[in-house]
Each structure stands twice: as C-alpha cells, then as structure tokens.
Chains A and B, each alone.
Chain A
Amino acid sequence: MIRLLKQLVDWIVRTQVWLSVFRQGWPNTERNRILTILNTCLFHLHPIKVRPHALKVKYTFCLGGISMFLFIVETITGVLLMFYYRPTVEYAYQDMKDLEFAVTFGLFLRNMHRWAAHGMVLTVILHMCRVFYTGSYKPPREYNWCVGVVLLVLTLLLSFTGYLLPWDQLAFWAVTVGTNMAKATPVLGAEGPFRILSEMNDMCFYLRGSVDISENTLLRFYVLHCIALPLAAVVLMSIHFWRVRKDGGISGPL
C-alpha cells in the first residue's frame, strides 16, 4: 500500500505540470530552499531568511502583516459587494438596503468590509508608529518609509472614497464637508488664498465632477475606490515588501 502511494507520488512529481510549477526538488537542501524562494513570485517578495528577532511578536506586533491581511479581506468582500452594488443615484441607496435586508449574509459582508476598513486605517497608522519608534525609517530604509507614507495616504483615500458609496445622508454630508476643504486649497481652490480659479474649474470641482455632490461624484468615487486606488496600493505594496527584503529584512533591535 505504502509502496503504491510512493509510486503514485513519484509519478506525480515527474509530470510536466508539476515540474513546470515547482522547478526544483523538495526544499531539503540549502540550495533548493534558496531556489524555492527565488523562483516563486510571492515568496521572492519575502526575505530569504528571517532572523529570530523578527519572529518576536512584541517587536513588530505583526502590524504590517495585519494591514496586508485586512487589505485582502477588503478585496474579497469588496468584490462580493460589487456584485450587488450599482453606483447610480437611483440605485445606490436601494442596493445598499438590499444588501442589508434581502441578500443572505449581505449585512455581514457590508459590516466586514466596513470594519476591516476601519481596522486597516488603524493598523496602518500603528505600523507607522512602530516603524518610527524602532528607527526603521533610517537609511538604508528611507526609501521604503516614503513608499509607506504614500500607502498610508492611499489607505485614507480608499476609506474616504468608500464613504460616499452608501449614498445616504451621512455619506452625502460627510463628503460635502470633505470635498469642501479642497476649495480652500491655496491657488488651486476657488475660496483659498491666492485663488486664480473659479468654482467651475477648481480642485473641488475636479474632485466632485460637478459644483455639488452629484451622480458624477458617485461614479468618480466608485471608480477610484474599486479600481484606481486599489491598483495603486497593490503596486506600491509589492514594492514595499520587496524593498523590505532588499534592505536586509526587518530591522534589528536597537
């Protein structure tokens, strides 16, 4: 019986499908382990070696990892929500209520998406604090710190653009207030200092796609929330993780 099984396994690992996916043998030698990491896309973002201090929870609190995990949760729940949501004035609020009251586990889906978003903002900020307190922003990691700051901004923008999508009173007025701030931008805002632009072509107008919050704004925010910002975040995250490895893994204790 065991022999049969062994023969089967031998046959499987010799098939072309197996060999084209796993290009080296079992990772039981130093060389094969290194090759495994180098040849796998996801693994190669990860450091080849992890030092014991990096495994200590109290050093990193796994904040970056949790952020990444929450981003995955957001992606999965977000894609599922997109099946039910139409970004139009007519349907947005209605679809939201459908999700709440008519779709099985719809409310759970929405809540998960919402709380994971809140959690992500929190963990990303805490992650930044951790990096700051452990001095991990210092050379050679200064570049990755900057990428991280952009990622923080992206996280906040994802949160902000997602806020309008329920299209209820809370969303409407929160985004009204939020986008009104753009009017006060110096030079580029219609009400800011040194203003040169009118209400019809200032920053706020481009943000909203109209003078007031309208269907244009909803569509704009939807596209940003579901496509533009997540894509940018994925690209930057890849750079961020890869850079961690290139800069010699997680910084050592001081």
Chain B
Amino acid sequence: MRLRRFIKMDKSTLGTIHYVWFAVIGAALSVAVVVLCIKEYDRDWKRCQVVVKRLQTKAIEEKIQTLESELPFSQGKTKAKNEETLARMRMVREQVLSMPVKIQQIQIDALGRVDRCTTCHAGIEDTNLAEQENPYRGHPGNYLQWHDIGKFGCTVCHEGQGLSTNYTQAAHRPLRGLDRPWQKAILPRYLIQSSCGKCHLDKEVPFAPLLSKGRDVIEKAGCSGCHKVRLYENQEKVGPSLDRLGSKVNRAWLLRWLSNPREYDPAEGLTRYRMPKFNLTKEQIVALEVFLMADRDGAVIQSPAGEGDSEAGALLFRESRCVTCHLVEGKGGYLAPELSGITSKVNKEWLYRWMKNTHYFQPKTQMPQFNFSGQQVNDIVAYLWEEFQGDELEVPGEFENISGFDKDLESLVNQGRKVFMESGCTGCHTKSGIEQGRIAPDLTALASRDEEGLNWGEVQDIEKYIGNWVFMQLKDPALLEKKAKMPHFPITDEEMAAAIVALLSDAGEDMPSQYVASLPGRESYPDLPGEFGKIVDKYRCRSCHVVYGKGGWVSMHPLDREGSEVKKEWLRGYFGLPYSLRPILKERMVNLKMDDKEAEFLVNFFSTVMVDNSIPDIEDTFNEDDIARGQSLFDKNGCISCHIMGKGGGYVGTPLTNVGDRLTAGWIYAFIKNPRYYEPWSIQPDYGLSEEDARALTAYLSSCREMKKENRVSLGGRINIQ
C-alpha cells in the first residue's frame, strides 16, 4: 500500500522513464564490476606461465622416458649413474609442477632495477626451450651462464620497461614522438651489443664483434680529437704533427690532399689514410695551404753531401725490412704510408733529414730511429727516388685564379690559421703554437640523449632515433645542417654502424664496480724510465711489441717475459741479424742497426729484469733416456704437422729445428704444460701433458741445437754481416 503510494507520488513528479534509466545504469554498473574482476584475474602472463610449464614438463618427461627405457639395459656404474639422473629429473619435474602461477621479479639493488620480464618469459633459463618461440623461449647462447640472471636481470642488457607485465607496456616496440611515455624501449637486435659495452670497457669484447669493431673504428678515426668520447678521453692525436710541413711536401700535393684526400687514397674504410674530406671552399683551402707551407725548417733546405748509390740502397731497404710497416703498391704492412709515388709528395732533402733524425720531425711517430750512416741514408734515398718515382704533380687549374689569392702573405697566413682552428684540424694534428680544446659536441652519455631536440634538417623517411642521427652525421652531415663542420670520413657503412653501437654503449650510467669487466691495470702506462726507456723510445719497440702492458700487436710476442723465454746468446745474435721466426708472416723483425752497446744493454736488461717467476729455471742438461722418450712423444702427438723439425713439417707453428739454441728449457716446459695461460691467443693445443712427459719433451726440444757447446761460447759476440 505504501509502495503504491510512493510510485504514484513519483509518477507525478519524475515519471516512470527514470526507473528504466535507473535499472539500465544499475545493470551496466554491475556488469562493469564483473568485467573488472574478470580482467583483474585474467592476465596474459598467467597463460604464458601455464604454456611454459607444459613445455618444460613435456621436455623433462621425454628425457625421463628415454632414460627409463634405457635403464633395463644398462649395468653396473652406468646403471647407478642413470638411476641418479632419473631421480634428479623426477625431482625437477615435481619442482616445475609445483611452481605457483604468480608474478616473478628480479630485484637488483646495485643497479636500481626491478625486472618482471620472467613473469612472461618464464622459461628463459631453460635450455630445453631454446627452440621455442617467444615468449616461451629459453635464452639463446650461453649468455645467461656467463651472466647470472639473478645478478644481472634483463633490462640492464635489453633495456625496455622491466616493471611491466604486458607486451606493449614493456616497450617491446619502440614508440617515438610525443606519445612515448618512456625513454628506453627494448633494444633491437642490431643494437644489443651496445649494452655489453656498459660493463666491458676493454677494446676487445668477447662475443660482441660489432662493439669491438666499433671501438676500433672510434680509436682509428680519432673521434676523441674533436668529441669527448667515453674511454677515449686521453687518446693521443691520431694525425702526424704539422710542424715544418713546408719543408716536407710540395704545394701541388698539399692542395690536392686538402681538397680531396680520396684522390690520393681511394680506399673506402679506415685502412691507412684516415684524413676526412672537409667542407671547405677553394679560398679556404688556399689559405690553409699557405698557412701550412709557411712553416719551413731552414736546415732541411740544404742538399745532403755526396751521391747515393741506389743498388746499395736497395740492399739496405730489404735488409731493414721497410715493408714490414710500409706499403709498396698496396702491399706490405699496415702501420706506415705508401712508398710508391713518394717523389710526387715529399722533398728529397726532407727525406734525407727524416731518415737521419726521424724523431726530431715527428716526436710521436711509430717509425724507429735507424742507425744509418750519412752514406747509407744517401743510398736509401737514391733507391727510393729511383724505385718509387711518381708523376710530377701540378697545381689544379681551379686554384690558379682564386680571388683574394693576391692578398699579402701575412693576411693569408692569418686566414689559414683561422681555418685551421675552426675546421678542427687541431683534433688530429699538433702544430706548435696552436692549442685548443675539443671543438665538437660532447658524445658521452649519448644513449640517454633526449631525441626530441635533435636537428634532422632535410632528412625524412627515417626512424628518428639517436643512432640514425649519428649515422647521418657520418654519412652526409650536410643533409642535417647546411654549414656542418663535421668532415666526411673514409668509412664504410658497416664501420659506421659498428661505431654507433660502440658510441651508444655509453648511456651515462655508472655501473657498480662489481659489474665492470676489464683487464687489470688498464689505467695508464707511464713512460719507461732510464736507459731502457730511452732505447725503447728510440727504436719504437712499442709500435709492434707490447712492453710492460702497452704497445702494438704487429708482433704477437710481448716482451714482458723475454728474459725467461729466450737464451742470451741467441738474443745477442738476433739483434745483430733478425730473421723471421715464422716464414709465413709478412711482418718481420726490423733490422734496426742497433749499436753494440745498446744491444748488450738490452740483452742484459731482458735477462735480469724482464722475467716471469712462474717460469721454472730448468738446468739445460738432460739424460739420453729423457731425450729419446721426448722424441717419441714428439712423433706421437704429431707436432710435426704444424712445426718444422729438420727437413719437413708444417708452416703454422714456429720452426723447431735448433729450438734448443733459442728457447730456455724452463720456457719450453712451462709453455707446453699450459700454453693458454701464457699466450691466450696461441693455437698451440693443450695436450694435458703429465709433468714427466712435459719434462721429457722439454729435454728433447732443448737437445735440438745446431751449435755445439764449444762454438756457442765463441759465438757470444755479435755476428757481423758484410
């Protein structure tokens, strides 16, 4: 009765239509609540975990079945082992089955990261699932064995939004532009190696060829001359000093070189000449040329006394092994410039002075100071002039009638100096009296650079991310900015891509020290002290050899434990007349024409200081039984397939004929016992020799000597060749 009255009253004021509305909205809200609860319960990752669990149990069950079927046929030890494996597998299966379906997360306080990636990628650590599709897949390769997932997590390498548990929100696809709520999306495959570079600070990073190559490119191209680049802050300038250039090169060559270095060296890629092509006008080039040529050295102008004999020069040229470093018509070493056509580039007088006093012209050159006499230099110069004659170069016509060229010398020089500084020549070349800091933008923390502010200039139809921007800078900077100062480097697309990977490895993150992987003592190598330092500097040993941790790898033979490795007598002879230890190598020890005192000093220094205490001191006398047993071991292990012994043998290893004259017994023993410890790059197999066998083999090898005891004593002095 009351209800009816209520309805009646309501009808008069609001009307029944509102009841319908009320019912509809109420029902809609109820449905919404139900849908909400279902959505809250039903998450994608739950399905992933269920599938992964099914795949994992399937893989384990298959293994269990094979083992069970094999069990009746196995016996004894194998049976016990199989039973143990079976029991373990059943335990693993129980573990997998009892895993609750829940959000998984890896929390790493040291990195400040929380990764929930394993919530969907639940089987990432299971090698059985390596063939499955994502997200059920196990991680390919051995990366998770090297990097414990509990210590590293996922996003430290892959980036992306580790806290999210669905595909889009985890930033599997990079979104760009204003809608992007996060800074870091998951790295695409071609950039993934950049993450290795966060912790691996060495130049060579194992299993990251792109990154290693990129670091090599950065170092070779000398990016750090103009830009600040992490790891290369203290790199030395890559170009030669331009002091006294006016006495060295001729004008026509310099003009051509400045306007297009590729004309002289057409090779693409950072092979030998790394001089980039600058975006300069003709007037600027002429001014720069005048500025550089104005710096002359009076002493160089005089012609050397006497005439050279080119035949004697040819002999010296071969004897000194110039081609170990220098190119001749595209063949030879890779450290030093091409020699053919040298006459069209440099002055004869300069060449003479250069050979006599190399380090006066280029204090940082890799070329050693040879101890040639004046006549010998004359001979070599005569030979070079005759053998490597190039065309006479002319000043290109376009430079003849340049406006402003009629200006007085001083204003041209000043203009040239301005061009020199503004173009960033100082990034690679030193020139006394001109000092300036890095002129180009800082490239540290490149990966965390804000991409919104990048200037894309005329570039369109390209994904606008920082890597592509750097690529365009290297490819054609003028497209990004009309008056770009960035010069064009002789660099291939592959090298660009590698360099970008290396540059993007710097995200400005400071990795905790326990994560940083790097060889010990990479910090700095002070110049070597005393007499030894002087000799190493004079002969530039470090151009080819590693000496106390620093130096080149032209020779794969660091000198740090030379005293323990070779015999004094042999070394003395080797300094007098170096020969190639491996005939198949084109790089050979250079004949430095060291004088006796220096050689004697080095021999003594090596044998007293540059020794390794882990190499045992073994007496050089062995009994006949050991030697015979060693010989049979030598034959049994097939050493002859790589090493020359006597008349036959392979060419991969060093010849072992007369090896007893060269190597100490201690070193032979230590090396064959553990080759990888002493030379990790060596391909010498580790036979796992017992101490006895190693001793026997050492005995045999030490007995392989040409020099009998009595004439060994007499050959203690230097061998002089005529």
Which chain A residue lies CB-closest to B175?
Answer: A169
Report B288-320 CB contacts with A as 1/0, cut-off 8 Å.
000000000000000000000000000000000
Contact assessment for B181 and A100 in the assembled complex, using a CB-CB cutoff below 8 Å: no
In the complex, identify which listed stretch (B157-165, B192-200, B247-255, B491-499) lies at the interface while the others stay far away.
B157-165
Report A72-115 CB contacts with B as 1/0, cut-off 8 Å.
00000000000000000010001001101110110110000000
Known: A55-B13, A169-B180. A100 touches B40 (CB 8 A): no
Contact assessment for B161 and A97 in the assembled complex, using a CB-CB cutoff below 8 Å: yes
CA distance A107 to B40 in the complex (A): 9
Q: Does B182 contact A (CB under 8 A)?
A: yes
CA distance A90 to B114 in the complex (A): 12
CA distance A108 to B36 in the complex (A): 8
Contact assessment for B40 and A104 in the assembled complex, using a CB-CB cutoff below 8 Å: yes
Known: A90-B112, A102-B103, A108-B40. A97 touches B164 (CB 8 A): yes
Q: Does B362 contact A (CB under 8 A)?
A: no
Chain B residues within an 8 Å CB radius of A173: 178, 452
Known: A55-B13, A108-B40. A101 touches B182 (CB 8 A): no
Task: Kindly identify which residue among A55, A101, A170 contacts B181, using a CB–CB cutoff of 8 Å.
Answer: A170
Chain A residues within an 8 Å CB radius of B178: 173
The number of chain A residues with a CB under 8 A from chain B is 17
Task: Kindly identify which residue among A52, A97, A169 contacts B183, using a CB–CB cutoff of 8 Å.
Answer: A169
Q: Does B137 contact A (CB under 8 A)?
A: no
The number of chain B residues with a CB under 8 A from chain A is 21
CA distance A97 to B105 in the complex (A): 13
> In the complex, how many angstroms separate the beta carbon of B228 from the nearest chain A beta carbon?
22
Contact assessment for B40 and A168 in the assembled complex, using a CB-CB cutoff below 8 Å: no
Task: Tell me the residues in window 97-126 of chain B with beta carbons closer than 8 Å to chain A beta carbons.
Answer: 103, 105, 112, 114, 116
CA distance A173 to B178 in the complex (A): 9
Chain B residues within an 8 Å CB radius of A52: 13
Chain A residues within an 8 Å CB radius of B340: none
Q: Does B169 contact A (CB under 8 A)?
A: yes
Chain B residues within an 8 Å CB radius of A94: 114, 163
Which chain A residue lies CB-closest to B119?
Answer: A101
CA distance A170 to B183 in the complex (A): 10
> In the complex, how many angstroms separate the beta carbon of A7 from the nearest chain B beta carbon?
24
Task: Kindly identify which residue among A55, A101, A105, A107 contacts B163, using a CB–CB cutoff of 8 Å.
Answer: A101
Task: Kindly identify which residue among A102, A105, A170 contacts B40, using a CB–CB cutoff of 8 Å.
Answer: A105
Contact assessment for B36 and A101 in the assembled complex, using a CB-CB cutoff below 8 Å: no
Counting chain B CB atoms within 10 Å of each CB, the highest count among A55, A97, A98, A105 belongs to A97
CA distance A70 to B472 in the complex (A): 52
> In the complex, how many angstroms separate the beta carbon of A102 from the nearest chain B beta carbon?
6
Report A136-178 CB contacts with B as 1/0, cut-off 8 Å.
0000000000000000000000000000000011100100000
CA distance A104 to B165 in the complex (A): 13
Which chain A residue lies CB-closest to B452?
Answer: A173
> In the complex, how many angstroms separate the beta carbon of A25 from the nearest chain B beta carbon?
21
Task: Tell me the residues in window 14-49 of chain B with beta carbons closer than 8 Å to chain A beta carbons.
Answer: 36, 40
How many A-B pairs have beta carbons closer than 8 Å: the answer is: 39
> In the complex, how many angstroms separate the beta carbon of A48 from the nearest chain B beta carbon?
20
Contact assessment for A101 and B40 in the assembled complex, using a CB-CB cutoff below 8 Å: no
Contact assessment for B164 and A101 in the assembled complex, using a CB-CB cutoff below 8 Å: yes
Chain A residues within an 8 Å CB radius of B164: 97, 100-101
Chain A residues within an 8 Å CB radius of B183: 169
Contact assessment for A169 and B40 in the assembled complex, using a CB-CB cutoff below 8 Å: no
Chain A residues within an 8 Å CB radius of B166: 101
Chain A residues within an 8 Å CB radius of B105: 102
Chain A residues within an 8 Å CB radius of B112: 90
> In the complex, how many angstroms separate the beta carbon of B142 from the nearest chain A beta carbon?
30
Chain B residues within an 8 Å CB radius of A169: 180-183
CA distance A100 to B163 in the complex (A): 9
CA distance A107 to B116 in the complex (A): 17
Contact assessment for B13 and A101 in the assembled complex, using a CB-CB cutoff below 8 Å: no
> In the complex, how many angstroms separate the beta carbon of B24 from the nearest chain A beta carbon?
16
Chain A residues within an 8 Å CB radius of B116: 101-102
Chain A residues within an 8 Å CB radius of B452: 173
Which chain A residue lies CB-closest to B103?
Answer: A102
> In the complex, how many angstroms separate the beta carbon of B258 from the nearest chain A beta carbon?
44
Contact assessment for A168 and B182 in the assembled complex, using a CB-CB cutoff below 8 Å: yes
Counting chain A CB atoms within 10 Å of each CB, the highest count among B116, B163, B180 belongs to B163
CA distance A169 to B180 in the complex (A): 7
Chain B residues within an 8 Å CB radius of A102: 103, 105, 116, 165
CA distance A101 to B180 in the complex (A): 19
Contact assessment for A168 and B181 in the assembled complex, using a CB-CB cutoff below 8 Å: yes
Counting chain B CB atoms within 10 Å of each CB, the highest count among A98, A101, A104, A108 belongs to A101
Which chain B residue lies CB-closest to A93?
Answer: B163
> In the complex, how many angstroms separate the beta carbon of A62 from the nearest chain B beta carbon?
13
Which chain A residue lies CB-closest to B36?
Answer: A108
Which chain B residue lies CB-closest to A174?
Answer: B178
Chain B residues within an 8 Å CB radius of A100: 164, 169
CA distance A94 to B178 in the complex (A): 21
CA distance A97 to B13 in the complex (A): 49
Chain B residues within an 8 Å CB radius of A90: 112
Contact assessment for B40 and A97 in the assembled complex, using a CB-CB cutoff below 8 Å: no
> In the complex, how many angstroms separate the beta carbon of B33 from the nearest chain A beta carbon?
10
> In the complex, how many angstroms separate the beta carbon of B456 from the nearest chain A beta carbon?
19
> In the complex, how many angstroms separate the beta carbon of A207 from the nearest chain B beta carbon?
21
Task: Kindly identify which residue among A101, A105, A108 contacts B103, using a CB–CB cutoff of 8 Å.
Answer: A101
Contact assessment for B163 and A97 in the assembled complex, using a CB-CB cutoff below 8 Å: yes
Chain B residues within an 8 Å CB radius of A105: 36, 40
> In the complex, how many angstroms separate the beta carbon of A253 from the nearest chain B beta carbon?
16
CA distance A104 to B39 in the complex (A): 11
Chain A residues within an 8 Å CB radius of B169: 100-101
Which chain A residue lies CB-closest to B18?
Answer: A57
> In the complex, how many angstroms separate the beta carbon of B181 from the nearest chain A beta carbon?
4
Chain A residues within an 8 Å CB radius of B163: 94, 97-98, 101
Which chain B residue lies CB-closest to A90?
Answer: B112
Which chain B residue lies CB-closest to A52?
Answer: B13
CA distance A188 to B438 in the complex (A): 39
Chain B residues within an 8 Å CB radius of A98: 163
Which chain B residue lies CB-closest to A106?
Answer: B40
> In the complex, how many angstroms separate the beta carbon of A80 from the nearest chain B beta carbon?
15
> In the complex, how many angstroms separate the beta carbon of A177 from the nearest chain B beta carbon?
11
Which chain B residue lies CB-closest to A101?
Answer: B165
CA distance A90 to B163 in the complex (A): 13
Counting chain B CB atoms within 10 Å of each CB, the highest count among A100, A168, A169 belongs to A169
CA distance A168 to B105 in the complex (A): 21
Task: Tell me the residues in window 32-75 of chain B with beta carbons closer than 8 Å to chain A beta carbons.
Answer: 36, 40
Which chain B residue lies CB-closest to A96?
Answer: B163
> In the complex, how many angstroms separate the beta carbon of A99 from the nearest chain B beta carbon?
10
Chain B residues within an 8 Å CB radius of A55: 13
CA distance A55 to B166 in the complex (A): 47
CA distance A173 to B183 in the complex (A): 12
Chain B residues within an 8 Å CB radius of A101: 103, 116, 163-166, 169
Report A212-230 CB contacts with B as 1/0, cut-off 8 Å.
0000000000000000000
Which chain B residue lies CB-closest to A168?
Answer: B181
> In the complex, how many angstroms separate the beta carbon of A111 from the nearest chain B beta carbon?
10
CA distance A104 to B13 in the complex (A): 44
> In the complex, how many angstroms separate the beta carbon of B173 from the nearest chain A beta carbon?
16
Chain B residues within an 8 Å CB radius of A107: 40
CA distance A55 to B9 in the complex (A): 14
Which chain A residue lies CB-closest to B166?
Answer: A101
Task: Tell me the residues in window 118-169 of chain B with beta carbons closer than 8 Å to chain A beta carbons.
Answer: 161, 163-166, 169
Which chain A residue lies CB-closest to B114?
Answer: A94
Counting chain A CB atoms within 10 Å of each CB, the highest count among B103, B179, B181 belongs to B181
Given A94-B163, A102-B103, 5 other A-B contacts at CB below 8 A? A55-B13, A100-B169, A108-B40, A168-B182, A170-B180
Nearest 3 A/B pairs, CB to CB: A97-B163, A168-B181, A101-B165
Binding site for A on B (CB under 8 A): 13, 36, 40, 103, 105, 112, 114, 116, 161, 163-166, 169, 178-183, 452
18 contacts between A and B (CB under 8 A): A94-B114, A98-B163, A100-B164, A100-B169, A101-B103, A101-B116, A101-B164, A101-B165, A102-B105, A102-B116, A104-B40, A105-B36, A105-B40, A108-B36, A168-B182, A169-B181, A170-B180, A173-B452
